[in-house]
Amino acid sequence: MKSFLNKMQTDKNIVVLGALNMDLNIHTNRVPEVGETFEGDSFYTNPGGKAGNQAVSAIKSSKSDKEIYLISSIGDDIFGKDLISYLSEQRINVENIEVKKSVSSGIAIIILLPDGQNSVNPVYGANEIFNQKQIDSIKKLSKSSSILLAQQEIPLDVTFQSLKIAKSNNMITILDPSPNKIVPENFYDYVDIITPNEIEAEYLSGISITSLEDAKKSAEYISSLGPKNVIITLDDRGSWLHSEDFIGHIKSYKVNVVASVAAGDAFNGALASSLSTGSSLVTSVKFASAAAALSVSRKGSQESMPDLFEIKEILS
What residues act catalytically? 265
For residues 299 and 84, give the distance between their C-alpha atoms in angstroms, rounded to a whole number: 20
Closest CA to 72 of 52, 42, 47: 52
Rounded (10°) CA dihedral 297, 298, 300, 305: -70
Query: How many C-beta atoms lie closer than 10 Å to residue 247's C-beta?
Result: 14
The secondary structure of 212-237 as a DSSP string is HHHHHHHHHHHHHTS-SEEEEE-GGG
For residues 39 and 31, give the distance between their C-alpha atoms in angstroms, rounded to a whole number: 10
Q: 60: which DSSP letter?
A: H
Helix or strand holding residue 271 (H, E): helix 263-275
Kindly list the distances between the CA atom of residue 18 and the CA atoms of 28, 49, 290, in Å, as whole numbers in the listed order.
29, 8, 24
Maximum distance among all Cα pairs of the chain, rounded to whole angstroms: 57
For residues 134 and 157, give the distance between their C-alpha atoms in angstroms, rounded to a whole number: 12
Tally of CA atoms within 13 A in the half-sphere of 275 that contains its CB: 30
Amino acid making up residue 258: V
User: Which residues make beta-bridge pairs with 173?
Assistant: 148
Helix or strand holding residue 276 (H, E): none
Q: Judging by DSSP bridges, how do beta strands 97-100 and 68-75 pair with one another?
A: parallel
